[in-house]
């Protein structure tokens, strides 16, 4: 048997570089922590290199080595920009002698990891978590988007593999010329935790929801790029005809205050996790995710496992999870299109129940162990096919098809 076969008993040493691993909880971070816990359970060794903060958001998996970093300016100061390993962290990396480097963010630490891999003649792979290049449109800097897309193309085309979380995102990256060998790394969900049986009518009443209210949930970071302005507009449009539609917002972020002013009668539950989060999902009646920046949509999958029908944008992420007209609705990413679908579900309890039951069944296909075993198989294939004598490079001036939004 080949030493690099996906079925080999060989144990790997993997260096994982991320822009965030434990200081803010979000979908990508949850996936990375689950990955590291799985790798160690399977006997592989992992070192994680990422910025850290004085007050981490949760207890992380594995061994985390802090890299120097600076907080992002303005309202996004909770996130940090890493500058790569220094001092003891760098010495630990060199002594570790990894077989493979996994990069989870295209920041300076990611560039360091690419160069380290090339220097040490080992493969570098990358997981694609967020369309960072779309963020400027939410902060009045749309002119910057084309340059960020060009940078992403340069960065990811130097990697042996790029792991995208959904088929729709895989197709989008191929269209944009981002990545040479794009593989699918979907996400899993804990169907025992996220379960319709967690529905709690006392919790609903305690938080101001009446028996006949139709509760529409938003779960995620309260930031502009999650489409919170569209959420507000769409819900308010739908409520003109269906005033019993009541919003539930789960999450924290720099836009909470402005979000709350626009939806003064919504219940803001704050950041929840574990059983508290599962109860909030199951106690809602539908889920609405207006974001077009999601590459997968962990929250949508959790909502589906909780038995909720979902409404999402007909864009990468939601398209790979929501079966339009079967588990929920896909809509044009604007308030008018979303409001129409919200109204359809608000007035039809039988339809909500039917979609929710189908969504729950659909979510059972996403097992973490199966998903992560497949990713480890990709690692072994990267080791098998890697040829250090043929560096893969694409200059910043590449002319591949460029994404125009």
At 163-183, the pLDDT tens digits run 998 888 898 899 989 999 999
Q: Yes or no: say if 162 and 181 are a contact pair by the CB < 8 Å rule.
A: yes
Q: Yes or no: say if 304 and 310 are a contact pair by the CB < 8 Å rule.
A: yes
What is the largest distance, in Å, between two alpha-carbon atoms of the chain?
67
Q: Yes or no: say if 89 and 65 are a contact pair by the CB < 8 Å rule.
A: yes
The span from the first CA to the last CA of the chain, in angstroms, equals: 47
> Does an H or E element contain 277, and which?
helix 274-282
> Cα 239 to the chain's mean position, in Å?
30
Q: Yes or no: say if 235 and 342 are a contact pair by the CB < 8 Å rule.
A: yes
pLDDT digits (tens, 9 = 90+) for 250-276: 999 889 999 999 999 999 999 998 999
Please say if the pLDDT value at position 75 is more than 80. no
> Does an H or E element contain 215, and which?
strand 214-219
What domains lie within the chain, and their CATH numbers?
13-188+369-385 (3.40.50.2000), 196-363 (3.40.50.2000)
Please say if the pLDDT value at position 125 is more than 90. yes
Q: What is the mean pLDDT of residues 342-349?
A: 96
Tell me which of 78 and 16 has the higher pLDDT.
16
Q: DSSP letters along 295-363, please? A: SS-HHHHHHHHTT--EEEESSTTGGGT--BTTTEEEE-SSHHHHHHHHHHHHT-HHHHHHHHHHHHHHH
pTM more than 0.85: no
């Amino acid at each position: 048997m080949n030493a690099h076969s996906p079925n080999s008993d060989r144990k790997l040493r993997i260096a994982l570089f991320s822009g965030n691993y434990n200081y803010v909880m979000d979908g990508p971070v949850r996936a990375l922590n689950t990955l590291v816990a799985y790798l160690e359970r399977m006997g592989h060794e992992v070192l994680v290199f990422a910025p850290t903060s004085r007050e981490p958001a949760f207890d992380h998996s594995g061994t985390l080595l802090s890299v120097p970093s600076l907080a992002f300016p303005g309202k996004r100061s909770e996130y940090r920009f890493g500058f790569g390993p220094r001092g003891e962290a760098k010495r630990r990396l060199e002594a570790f002698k990894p077989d493979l480097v996994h990069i989870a963010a295209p920041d300076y630490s990611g560039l360091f990891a690419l160069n380290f891999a090339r220097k040490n003649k080992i493969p570098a792979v990358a997981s694609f978590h967020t369309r960072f290049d779309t963020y400027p449109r939410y902060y009045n800097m749309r002119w910057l988007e084309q340059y960020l897309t060009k940078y992403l193309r340069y960065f990811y085309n130097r990697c042996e593999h790029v792991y995208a979380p959904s088929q729709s995102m895989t197709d989008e990256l191929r269209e944009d010329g981002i990545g040479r060998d794009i593989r699918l790394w979907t996400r899993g969900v804990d169907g025992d935790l996220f379960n319709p049986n967690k529905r709690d009518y006392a919790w609903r009443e305690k938080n101001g929801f009446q028996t006949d209210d139709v509760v529409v949930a938003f779960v995620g970071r309260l930031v502009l790029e999650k489409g919170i302005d569209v959420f507000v507009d769409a819900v308010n449009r739908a409520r003109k005809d269906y005033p019993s539609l009541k919003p539930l917002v789960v999450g924290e972020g720099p836009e909470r205050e402005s979000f709350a002013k626009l939806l003064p009668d919504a219940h803001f539950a704050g950041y929840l996790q574990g059983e508290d989060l599962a109860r909030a999902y199951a106690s809602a009646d539908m889920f609405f995710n207006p974001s077009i920046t999601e590459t997968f949509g962990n929250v949508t999958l959790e909502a589906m496992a909780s038995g909720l029908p979902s409404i999402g944008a007909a864009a990468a992420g939601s398209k790979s999870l929501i079966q339009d007209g079967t588990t929920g609705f896909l809509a044009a990413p604007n308030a008018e299109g979303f409001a129409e679908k919200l109204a359809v579900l608000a007035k039809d309890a039988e339809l909500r129940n039917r979609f929710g039951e189908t969504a729950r069944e659909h979510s059972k296909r996403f097992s973490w162990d199966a998903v992560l075993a497949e990713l480890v198989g990709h690692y072994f294939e990267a080791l098998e096919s890697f040829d250090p004598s043929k560096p893969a490079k694409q200059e910043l001036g590449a002319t591949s098809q460029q994404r125009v939004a």
